[in-house]
Amino acid sequence: MYLFRHVMVGANDLGESKRFYDAILGVLGLDPGTNEGNKCRWLGEGGQFLIKLPIDGEPASHANGGTIGFECSSTVMVDAWYAAGMSNGGSCITSPEISDRGAYKLYLSYIRDPVGNKLNASYQLSD
């Protein structure tokens, strides 16, 4: 059973946000997103990721305390994800580094998308 059917975040400029997400999701192996009027959609094996102009017409904003995490298959993929995000309008929270979580270690990075949504890419290191 899949955990999520979809994840959606708001966007203020679909073109700007689509360029950003095409870049970082492309590193993860997804095809470019599909424009669908006031939203864009990326399809993955376990669900879909969407960006959308807010229905209420107010500016999109990021979730306070929220993070969307993407799983990577290698440290190289985390580095490429970070580089793609940073060169397509993202801002750095944490550049790629090793994070010791006690029971396991992750190679990870945190960035913000053009609206300010907090994103993470990580790869679990083997001992």
pLDDT at 94: 95
Return d(Cα 124, Cα 74) in angstroms, integer: 8
What percentage of the chain exceeds 70 in pLDDT?
98
Q: What is the pLDDT of residues 47-99, one digit of tens each?
A: 899 999 999 999 999 888 889 999 999 999 999 999 999 999 999 999 999 99
> 36: which 2 tokens?
């669908």
pLDDT at 83: 98
Return d(Cα 80, Cα 67) in angstroms, integer: 19
What percentage of the chain exceeds 90 in pLDDT?
85
